[in-house]
A and B are shown apart, each in its own frame.
Chain A
Amino acid sequence: EVQLVESGGGLVQPGRSLRLSCTASGFTFGDYAMSWFRQAPGKGLEWVGFIRSKAYGGTTEYAASVKGRFTISRDDSKSIAYLQMNSLKTEDTAVYYCTRDASLRGAVAETPYYFDYWGQGTLVTVSS
Chain B
Amino acid sequence: QSALTQPPSASGSPGQSVTISCTGTSSDVGGYNYVSWYQQHPGKAPKLMIYEVSKRPSGVPDRFSGSKSGNTASLTVSGLQAEDEADYYCSSYAGSNNFPYVVFGGGTKLTVL
Is A44's beta carbon under 8 Å from chain B? Answer: yes
Chain B 51-65 interface mask (CB, 8 Å, partner A; 1/0): 110000100000000
Assess whether A36 is interfacial by the CB under 8 Å rule.
Answer: no
Q: Could you tell me which residues of chain A, from 22 to 42, have a CB within 8 Å of some CB in chain B?
A: none
Interchain CB contact (< 8 A) of A118 among B34, B45, B51, B57: B45
Q: CA of A105 to CA of B104 in the docked complex: distance in angstroms? A: 21
Q: Does the CB pair A113–B48 fall under 8 Å?
A: no
* A114 engages B34 (CB within 8 Å): yes
How many A-B pairs with Cβ below 8 Å? Answer: 61
Most B C-beta atoms less than 10 A away, residue of A45, A47, A49, A114: A114
Q: Is A109 an interface residue (CB 8 A)?
A: yes
Contact count band on B: 20 to 34
Knowing A115-B48, A119-B45, say if A44 contacts B99 (CB, 8 Å): no
Return chain B residues, CB-CB under 8 Å to A117: 48
- Asked whether any CB of chain A lies closer than 8 Å to the CB of B74, the reply is no
Evaluate contact between A121 and B91: CB separation under 8 angstroms: no
The yes or no answer to A102 lying at the interface (CB within 8 A) is yes
Please judge, given known A-B contacts A44-B89, A121-B45, whether A112 and B101 are in contact too, CB under 8 Å: yes
Contact B106 A112 (CB under 8 A): no
**A102 contacts B104, CB within 8 Å?**
no
Write 24 A-B pairs (CB below 8 A) sorted by A numbering: A44-B107, A47-B104, A61-B99, A63-B99, A97-B45, A102-B51, A104-B93, A104-B96, A111-B96, A112-B101, A112-B102, A113-B36, A114-B51, A114-B52, A114-B91, A114-B93, A114-B102, A115-B48, A115-B102, A116-B57, A117-B48, A118-B46, A118-B47, A119-B45
**In the complex, residue of chain B having the shortest beta-carbon distance to the beta carbon of A115:** B48
Q: List A contacts of B45 (CB < 8 A).
A: 97, 118-121
Q: Which of B49-106 contact A (CB under 8 A)?
A: 51-52, 57, 89, 91, 93, 96, 99-102, 104-106
